[in-house]
Chains A and B, each alone.
Chain A
């Protein structure tokens, strides 16, 4: 895959939709394209995070360690971003990401990511939107879980 194709793919990601092409090109050029084999770990819960990954092809499972064993909480696919929480706030990785199929990602390091976010407020807003959506989903899930516990009791 050449740089040009990567730029095309990145532009389809909502987060980058409003950023000028030359900046996306720089982002693509300075970022490493990483391919994971099925079952490879992209990152592990508890590790220190220094990069986020944009999925360009393939699928990945988000797995959380629970007292009763690992639990797959979501499956991510093309155009999704993973691992951004650990670089936004300095906490260890909150989940393990495991390649479900062969997974092609663009690895964006903390430095590059912050540079882009500070330089392009649009990107920050977009980032907020993504996180907010996720929060809604999580709250929803929590609500359901609570109801289930209530019923069981």
Chain B
């Protein structure tokens, strides 16, 4: 990358800079006339000096008034022309700057993707992120104006100065007399400000690093009562930033003071010297006015130039500072990632590593002249004590780290120079903690298949135009033009013909890593769009019917689930659910805040239930106070059973003692809402409060019908009503099949109902459909919505599904319980029979079922062979076996 920002600008935007310069120069004549005209207007048109009317102009005669209007008209024209130039130049500058910024960010990002792994030990996210996001932001603005602004503003200044000189050279000299002073002192001060600015940038980077650490390490902070040290460190850093900022302010405003002072000296000279000359008759008033006007005009460009100088220095430092962070030693060539070989070779034959050496960042050797040779159709275990270099070997073999020296051949392929296109497709690697990206489970599973956009998406009309514009802009800025909406899945690599095949294979692999039950459960809790997947929705409805047939036929289950019936009150659902009789979509009918909703209030009122609800609310509140009043506020019962939170309880207590239970029709609005909100939460069979009578339940069912019938059009999308014969798009698959509430108070009801559900799924072969739905589950930031085991299993599945020639596992299952480990190892060994599997293991006894074992010690392979052979004759193997 260019180290100098000007070189960078010229390299990528020379054309734009030239156009901007030419436009600036073209604008000068208009500018000159814009300054000249006021003088003509005052001296000739108004005062009629040196001119006799009528005058002839391009063959037309003008009297004085007409001449004045002509001049004023010309003046207006010049104003418009000037502003038009400014507009065009500004927009063009903006575009140029923004394009360069896009290019710069993209280039920096590409560099991060090519950083050698050890770099990330020294650079944290907290440092890297602000560099690309906020720190380079002002560069865009500067790049746009890098050449055009000094030329335009400098030229503008020159025009004004020459105008002044032509009018009266003495005044011109007076006006600019102090500029040299300014030009000398300001940069000196500015340099100090810039240095401070530089250290401020560094301090802020450390600050954001600290922030990142506090968030990531928040568990430790709580576990060790370390919040005070954390606060102290943070405060310390803030103080450093404050001190630097404070000094910046002092200097910055000294500069401002000097600038303003010198600018205001101009009028002092004009009025003094010019006034004297007018009195003596050596200068016309019009000229003086024009000169003062011109000087005022001068202030803007001069200020701009000085500001430009500040920005330039700032940009230069920022650019250099950022660039130097993005050039770590040992970075791979861009080509290594971009080359797409004609044919991806199959890695076969033997893997030969000779004299591999690797040191860590402190210079101590991790691998010391490692030599090995094994067949690429065998399953290999790597064992050795901690610190023997096992992990480093897997990293080198997976090409995550470049060795300092040595040779690594896989068959005919030189692994050390092979592009990522070969290495990353033919080799899979999973470490101890694989990373899961914030997208769907499926996207994560197929991550290893997305190397290039393989099946272009076809666009028509507007979409095609948009796509073309996208490509054009990307090309102009050196960005990637690959279409993210294209189909990137490399089906051939996964060994399947198409998407359907890939899904089938995904099920196999999920089973292999013991993840399919989890995905199945996630699928049950996911939603599908019935418009997009009508067959699946139909299947779910069929499952619902089947489920209820089973329930009907088993008297012991009959009471355990209460189906949603249009004309029946559901005693296992809350009053809110009974009234809405559907799933809320969005916040409009939030079940917890139904009482506040105007439409709900209207329906309650029309159903003649308002007073009933208030009375119920009063009863519930009285009971809650009786039960909970003397519990401590943080008692878990509030959270588990409370209708009223501990914060609100005193409020209700006050209300109950203030309000007469006979006068509930005459309440303040907020009291009304408070009482009204309580009955909505009542679930009769759970709370057993006895406040809901049959009569009230009937009325609520009637209100439910009215609620649906009278729902105004703008609220139609806010609720998905329950309908026994329709798929409910707002709720998950499981609730769609159960279509009711599991009854409270029956032992193991959930388990028994779950078992029936499982039977239905089994009988209708719904499992694979549900797992496919589960693949659409969004896993959250870094896979936070999955547990650690699920994440790791997903990473192993991802490594297997791309069908690699070599799968490298670096203690990838060590976080699992023993039973899971054994099961997974058996499955993976089975899957990789006849292929290459390299598994770094922490226990020697696990190597029994491998074809070959490498034993490492002190950064070398000390012995290798089949486990049977080693068991007989190898001392280190026996030692390791004994230790495990």
Hey, which bits of chain A sit against chain B, CB under 8 A? 1-4, 6, 22, 25-26, 28-30, 32-37, 40, 42, 111
Contact = CB atoms under 8 A, between A and B. Distances in A.
A35 B626 contact: no
Contacts of A29: 627, 641, 687-688
B688 A42 contact: no
Given A2-B688, A2-B690, A37-B556, A32 B627 contact: no
Nearest to A6: B688
Given A32-B745, A33-B745, A37-B556, A3 B626 contact: no
A30 B628 CA distance: 11
Contacts of A6: 688
Contacts of B556: 37
B640 interface: yes
Interface residues of B, number: 17
Interface of B: 556, 626-628, 636-637, 640-641, 687-690, 744-748
Contacts of A25: 626-627
A3 B690 contact: yes
Contacts of B641: 29-30
A58 B641 CA distance: 27
A34 B626 contact: no
A35 B747 contact: yes
Given A25-B626, A26-B627, A30-B640, A40 B748 contact: yes
B746 A35 contact: yes
Contacts of A111: 636
Contacts of B627: 22, 25-26, 29
Contacts of B640: 30
Contact of B744 (A2, A32, A36, A42): A32
A3 B748 contact: no
Contact of A36 (B628, B636, B747): B747
A6 B690 CA distance: 12
Contact of B688 (A33, A34, A35): A33
9 contacts: A2-B688, A3-B688, A4-B690, A25-B627, A26-B627, A30-B640, A40-B747, A42-B747, A111-B636
Contacts of B746: 34-35
Contacts of A3: 687-690
Contacts of B747: 34-37, 40, 42
Contacts of A4: 690
B689 to A, nearest CB: 6
Contacts of B690: 2-4
A70 B626 CA distance: 46
Nearest to B688: A3
A3 B636 CA distance: 21
Contacts of A28: 688
Contacts of B744: 32-33
Contact of A30 (B637, B689, B745, B748): B637
Contact of A35 (B628, B637, B687, B745): B745
A33 B627 CA distance: 18
A90 to B, nearest CB: 20
Given A25-B626, A30-B637, A30-B640, A1 B688 contact: yes
The residue in B627, B640, B747 that gathers the most chain A C-beta atoms within 10 A of its C-beta is B747
A32 B640 CA distance: 12
Top-8 shortest CB links A-B: A2-B690, A36-B747, A3-B688, A26-B627, A33-B745, A34-B747, A37-B556, A2-B688
Nearest to A3: B688
The residue in B627, B640, B689 that gathers the most chain A C-beta atoms within 10 A of its C-beta is B627
Nearest to A33: B745
A40 B559 CA distance: 15
Contacts of B689: 2-3
Nearest to A32: B745
Contacts of A1: 688
Contacts of B687: 3, 29
A2 B745 CA distance: 12
A81 B61 CA distance: 120
A129 to B, nearest CB: 27
Contacts of A32: 744-745
Given A33-B745, A35-B747, 8 more contacts: A1-B688, A2-B689, A4-B690, A22-B626, A29-B688, A30-B640, A34-B746, A111-B636
A6 B745 CA distance: 13
A43 B831 CA distance: 42
A26 B629 CA distance: 11
A5 B715 CA distance: 42
Contacts of B626: 22, 25
Contacts of A26: 627-628, 637
A25 B687 CA distance: 12
Nearest to A39: B556
Nearest to B640: A30
Nearest to B556: A37
A125 to B, nearest CB: 23
A2 B687 CA distance: 8
Contacts of A22: 626-627
The residue in B636, B641, B687, B745 that gathers the most chain A C-beta atoms within 10 A of its C-beta is B745
Nearest to A2: B690
A115 to B, nearest CB: 9
Nearest to A107: B747
A111 to B, nearest CB: 8
A100 to B, nearest CB: 14
A120 B748 CA distance: 31
A22 B626 CA distance: 7
B637 A34 contact: no
B301 to A, nearest CB: 77
Nearest to A28: B688
B523 to A, nearest CB: 30
A6 B747 CA distance: 18
Contacts of A40: 747-748
A37 B688 CA distance: 21
A34 B749 CA distance: 10
A146 B832 CA distance: 64
A33 B687 CA distance: 10
A42 B746 CA distance: 11
The residue in B637, B688, B689, B748 that gathers the most chain A C-beta atoms within 10 A of its C-beta is B688
A21 B764 CA distance: 53
A2 B691 CA distance: 9
A22 B415 CA distance: 77
A42 B748 CA distance: 9
B621 to A, nearest CB: 14
A40 B747 CA distance: 8
A6 to B, nearest CB: 7
Contacts of A34: 745-747
B399 to A, nearest CB: 49
Nearest to B630: A22
A122 B14 CA distance: 93
A1 B640 CA distance: 21
Nearest to A26: B627
Nearest to A112: B637
A90 B200 CA distance: 59
Nearest to B685: A33
Nearest to A30: B641
B418 to A, nearest CB: 56
A11 to B, nearest CB: 16
B560 to A, nearest CB: 9
A1 B690 CA distance: 9
Nearest to A25: B627
Contacts of B748: 40
A69 B689 CA distance: 44
A83 to B, nearest CB: 13
Nearest to A27: B627
B875 to A, nearest CB: 46
Contacts of A33: 688, 744-745
Contacts of B637: 26, 30
A108 to B, nearest CB: 13
A105 to B, nearest CB: 8
A145 to B, nearest CB: 33
A111 B746 CA distance: 21
